[in-house]
Amino acid sequence: MSELKELMKVFGESGGDNSILAREDIAHFVASGHKILSTRATEGLKIQAEETDTGIAARVRVLEGIVIKNPVHLCFGILHKKGIQEIRMNIQIERGASVRFIAHCIFPKAEKVRHIMDAVVEIGEDAEMRYSEVHYHGPYGGIEVIPKAVVKVGKNGRYFSDFSLITGRVGKLGIDYAVEAGENAIIELIARVFGHGDDRISIKEKVALDGENSRGLIKTRVALEDKAEAEVTGITQGNAAGARGHVDCMEIVKDSAVAKAIPIVNVTHPLAKVTHEAAIGSVDKRQLETLMAHGLTPEEAVDVIVKGILK
Amino acid sequence: MYLLDIKDITYRVKEKEIFSGLSLAIEPEEVHAILGKNGTGKSTLAYLVMGCESYIPTSGVILFEGKIINDLKIHERAQLGITLAWQEPVRLEGISVRDYLTLKKKERNPSIYLEMVGLSPELYLNRIMDKSLSGGERKRIELASIVALEPKLAVLDEPDSGIDMLSIQDIINVINVLKKNGAAVLLITHREEIAKIADRASQICNGKIICSGDPQMVAQYYKSRKCEVCIAGVCAYV
């Protein structure tokens, strides 16, 4: 079986739609390890990519005023037990353009794998970018994933990011996102992670509300069991008049898991306002009892609650 | 045989005796209202019947269909046909109203239950049961979920609190539907107009049932009380 077919097979098994590769109206970029396996651009979308010694370097542009109707699928992975994949991405969404990326990051057999994503994103005036990233790391936990992004959002721009790793083991995860919001910009960063075994999770997300009337939300949902550990740092800076930000972190712990939340709110302008909320603890007793009164066993009830917060 | 038979239960929390020799029996398909001022232990009675954590009688027994259920967990009692609508329903992040109404029976049509409590399925089925719903909306959804469970015994803890006066008829409708479906209802309430639809009523005071019988009579007795808050001490009725 070719590497592309094998990757797409795992992609399909983890909930992805295999038909996207065949469709000419859907853009995609697929890379396994250090190899580019398949790529297709659509009108107004430019993808320039090259293989490097350790992974892939890519430049993606959505041209001015172009609204890309179908999501652009990015698929990265390593199919072997061991390996390194370093993705350097430069994404530019030009003025008035709009795009949604769905990134699938697949490492089904990872025993000693390292995946680094280093992205620089620039979203122009009146432009919008949505970025959903779904990870599957397999059952062994032998992986280190370091997604890093620096994002700059222009006037009236919008950036929505949604990171999800809720099936299989996590391994070691170190998210580090920093976003600068211009005037009237809207930023939403969501992360959902379910840690098991001895997984180690570090999520650091920072939104600097530098433009007047900019808006930011950092929302993190983490569930932990066994001996997993997580530290979530949500930083929001209100640096301009009318800037409004909120940090919302919820972590549920079971067994011997350990969770930590560090919300940092920093306001440097008297007309800015930033709020935060954090809730860490075991599954809420009242929620549990309510579901049990509906006939669910304690295990089923916990499952419903955890799946709910990670949804 | 009674459906629910609470026999001479005592319930003590640390040194405080909440119930001392409380007995109450409910027939199948009977709607039984419990009246009592704040602090008399009405909600505690509901939790004891449902088997909530740490709510186990210090002495006495609770029988359901002739079987002692003192040691059964909540879900085991639910599987026997007992359920409880809490006074303040919880919020559940990420769970839609549709999911909630079909938790155990995915094939169930949730729309009819929402309509029953005056909520539009179109507007509510895909809503998430989080803080975006008001307390009154959550209360209605909770009642809908209780009907959907088709229980043998539904314990409704102040179903009228947090719902406006105009909606009292919706609650009465729910109770009537439960009864029509063959359920008994243990109805905890402050409102006489709701208590009056019951088949029987009882008033709790100082950890005991002090008056039991026709709902009109018990409501009248309750109205003539002299105490505002139960201090679990000596009062006019003891």
Q: Would B227 be classed as within a structural domain?
A: no
Residues 45-64 of A with CB under 8 A from B: none
pLDDT category at A13 given cuts 50, 70, 90 is confident
Output the domain CATH number for residue B92: 3.40.50.300
The mean pLDDT of chain A is 95
pLDDT category at B238 given cuts 50, 70, 90 is very low
pLDDT tens-digit series, residues A212-241: 999 999 999 999 999 999 999 999 999 999
pLDDT tens-digit series, residues A99-115: 999 999 999 999 999 99
A291 has pLDDT over 80: yes
Residue in B53, B78, B89 nearest the CB of A295: B78
pLDDT tens-digit series, residues B98-129: 999 999 888 889 999 999 999 999 999 999 99
Task: Identify the pLDDT of residue B3.
Answer: 98
pLDDT tens-digit series, residues B8-61: 999 999 888 899 899 999 999 999 999 988 888 899 999 999 999 989 999 999
Task: Identify the pLDDT of residue B226.
Answer: 65
Mean per-residue pLDDT, A288-304: 95
The interface predicted TM-score of the complex, written ipTM, equals: 0.93
Across A79-83, A85-89, B192-196, least confident range: B192-196
Interface of B with A (CB under 8 A): 50, 52-53, 73-75, 78-79, 83-84, 86, 89-90, 92-95, 103-104, 145, 149
A150 vs B: CB within 8 A: no
A69 has pLDDT over 70: yes
For residue B44, the enclosing domain spans 27-56+80-221
pTM for this prediction: 0.84
A253 has pLDDT over 80: yes
Task: Identify the pLDDT of residue A15.
Answer: 73
Token readout for A179 is: 């976003």
Task: Identify the pLDDT of residue B232.
Answer: 52
Task: Identify the pLDDT of residue B234.
Answer: 46
pLDDT tens-digit series, residues B52-65: 998 999 999 999 99
A250 vs B: CB within 8 A: yes
Inspect the interface and report whether the beta carbons of B92 and A287 lie closer than 8 Å.
yes
Mutation to test the B interface, candidates A166, A192, A246, A292, most B Cβ within 10 Å: A292
pLDDT tens-digit series, residues B139-177: 999 999 999 999 999 999 999 887 765 578 888 999 999
d(CA B155, CA B81): 11
SS3 label, residue B233: coil
Task: Identify the pLDDT of residue A4.
Answer: 84
Q: What are the boundaries of each domain within chain A?
A: 3-282
Q: Would B142 be classed as within a structural domain?
A: yes
Give B164→chain A minimum CA distance, Å.
24
Residue in A284, A296, A307 nearest the CB of B103: A296
A206 has pLDDT over 60: yes
Please give the share of chain A, as a percent, with pLDDT higher than 70.
100
Residue in B90, B95, B149 nearest the CB of A304: B95
Task: Identify the pLDDT of residue B75.
Answer: 97
Name chain B contacts of A246, Cβ cutoff 8 Å: none
Name chain B contacts of A305, Cβ cutoff 8 Å: 92
SS3 assignment for chain A: CCHHHHHHHHHHHCCCCHHHHCCCCCCEEEEECCEEEEEECCCCEEEEEEECCCEEEEEEEECCCCECCCCEEEEEECCCCEEEEEEEEEEEECCCCEEEEEEEEECCCCCEEEEEEEEEEEECCCCEEEEEEEEECCCCCCEEEEEEEEEEECCCCEEEEEEEECCCCCCEEEEEEEEEECCCCEEEEEEEEEECCCCEEEEEEEEEECCCCCEEEEEEEEEECCCCEEEEEEEEEECCCCCEEEEEEEEEECCCCEEEEEEEEEECCCCCEEEEEEEEECCCHHHHHHHHCCCCCHHHHHHHHHHHHHC
The number of distinct structural domains making up chain B is: 1
Name chain A contacts of B84, Cβ cutoff 8 Å: 293
Inspect the interface and report whether the beta carbons of B93 and A250 lie closer than 8 Å.
yes
A74 has pLDDT over 50: yes
Mean per-residue pLDDT, A249-277: 96
Give B78→chain A minimum CA distance, Å.
5
Cβ pairs bridging A and B (under 8 Å): 62
Residue in B89, B92, B149 nearest the CB of A308: B92
